[in-house]
Amino acid sequence: MEAIAHQGSRTPREFGGPLGAAALMLLLPATVFHLLLVARSGPARLLGPPPYLPGLGALWSPPALLLWLAWLGLQLALYFLPARKVAEGLELKDKSRLQYPINGFRALVLTALLLGLGVSAGLPLGVLPEMLLPMAFAVTLTAFLFSLLLYLKALVAPASALAPGGNSGNPIYDFFMGKELNPRICFLDLKYFCELRPGLIGWVLINLALLVQEAELRGSPSLAMCLINGFQLLYVGDALWHEEAVLTTMDITHDGFGFMLVFGDLAWVPFTYSLQAQFLLHHPQTLGLPMASFICLIKAIGYYIFRSANSQKNTFRKNPSDPSVAGLETIATATGRQLLVSGWWGWVRHPNYLGDIIMALAWSLTCGTSHLLPYFYVLYFTALLVHREARDEQHCLQKYGLAWAKYCRQVPYRILPYIY
Ligand code: NDP
């Protein structure tokens, strides 16, 4: 373990090292609360101060904590239902492969059915928007606690289980980045569970509750609210339908499970990604059919690029002789793996990010152009993906060396052809 920690100290520290990590641990929760407060305020100013600073009484609520724990319990129970398939992850340092249940989409459908039953039995879904602030507080507290337990668990994990990046020896940095790559309790893979279930399904649940509240307030949901719900449900449904693809993403294969991913998965995703629906509830927008059709077209283009690029790489990584990818041009690397240099991955080096950003733009446009606030998502997300792309470049350069440099020469643009 010491050898790894020593190795880690030589690897470059990301996110500005311990200071950057400490700042992010304050800034990320503060941003979540800022957005929650601003979305419901009249001026809805992204850059201005929040309308008020909530006291502990407005943040701390035992029912909100109980609701959050019940939600976590439900998603855990659904995780343990028999899976339609058990998939293998990529090979680990010790040459083993972990197994993962593929039943996330079923969890989404069963959650929807249970919710439908609950609502028909009188469950007041429309009160959820009123609980967002204390819910976010409860989730933030549990994210800190959970990350601490993960940190302690990693202290006794074998060296082969540690992540490449979160073992610098600095506790603040390692707490943030995550020390252990795939922490597990028996068959429960904690990172895999958190990546796609409580936060992601929670996001569409919050959206739906906002739609219900809007219908209660104004008689029917607006077109903009319906579009946002539909677009984001498609995004979440797609992620869960292609759940297996998460096994080849950076989050699973490279990053340790620490505060960055815990908070991101459990708090950031549901509370900030639902910002557009929160904004629409308090700032109704009139969306004409021509504009709505135009936005749907942008969303469809983004989705097409995002899905085809991700599926192409995933199929190639799983089985390079699959007929859909066998004809593509490749570069051999010293690791024995190949890099695609034609198809989507010969167009730009991260076509999937481009598709994702185009979809993000469609979501923001749905909220009109009167406020900057709903554009927070596309702005933040572009910055996230640009930064993520740079991190991935570094990892790939370390992994593939000259072959990666050759790929970059052949495919010079990172995300946006001829521009970036
Ligand atoms: P990618 O799925 O793009 O994975 C990057 C990896 O792909 C590289 O490390 C490399 O790994 C492999 N790769 C890169 N180039 C090639 C090539 N030419 N040929 C073959 N393999 C290649 O990255 P992410 O995990 O960041 O993203 C996955 C998806 O998730 C994206 O669509 C992204 O937009 C989305 N996302 C969404 C977020 C959200 O909050 N909504 C947040 C982050 C991501 P190797 O060679 O080891 O296989």
pLDDT greater than 50 at residue 7: no
Q: Model confidence at 2, in pLDDT bands (50, 70, 90)? A: very low
For 107, what's the count of Cα atoms within 13 Å in the CB-facing half-sphere?
33
pLDDT greater than 80 at residue 5: no
Of all protein residues, the one whose alpha carbon is nearest to atom 32 of ligand 1 is: 352
Tens digit of each residue's pLDDT (9 = 90 or more) over 370-397: 999 999 999 999 999 999 999 889 989 9
Tokens at residue 37, please?
């407060």
Calculated CA dihedral for residues 154, 157, 163, 169, nearest 10 degrees: 60
Q: Is the CB of 339 under 6 A from ligand 1?
A: yes
What is the amino acid identity at position 136? A
Q: Is the CB of 249 under 6 A from ligand 1?
A: yes
Whole-number pLDDT of residue 8: 44
Nearest to 180 by CA among 145, 153, 142: 153
- Global pTM exceeds 0.85: yes
Q: How far apart are CA 45 and CA 39, in angstroms?
A: 8
Q: Is the CB of 175 under 6 A from ligand 1?
A: no
pLDDT greater than 70 at residue 345: yes
Q: Is the CB of 414 under 6 A from ligand 1?
A: no
Q: Is the CB of 238 under 6 A from ligand 1?
A: no
Question: Residues with Cβ < 8 Å from 83, sequence gap 6 or more?
Answer: 101, 102, 103
Whole-number pLDDT of residue 356: 96
Of 14-18, 214-218, 352-356, give the lowest mean pLDDT range: 14-18
- Ligand 1 atom nearest the C-alpha of 345 is 18
Q: Is the CB of 345 under 6 A from ligand 1?
A: yes
Q: How far apart are CA 94 and CA 71, in angstroms?
A: 35
pLDDT greater than 70 at residue 9: no
Tens digit of each residue's pLDDT (9 = 90 or more) over 124-174: 998 899 999 999 999 999 999 999 999 999 999 999 999 988 899 999 999
Q: Are 210 and 281 contacting, i.e. CB atoms less than 8 angstroms apart?
A: yes
Whole-number pLDDT of residue 4: 37
Tens digit of each residue's pLDDT (9 = 90 or more) over 54-102: 889 899 999 999 999 999 999 999 999 988 799 888 888 888 899 999 9
Whole-number pLDDT of residue 336: 87
- Ligand 1 atom nearest the C-alpha of 269 is 40
Residue with tokens 């090979």: 91
Tens digit of each residue's pLDDT (9 = 90 or more) over 220-233: 999 999 999 999 99
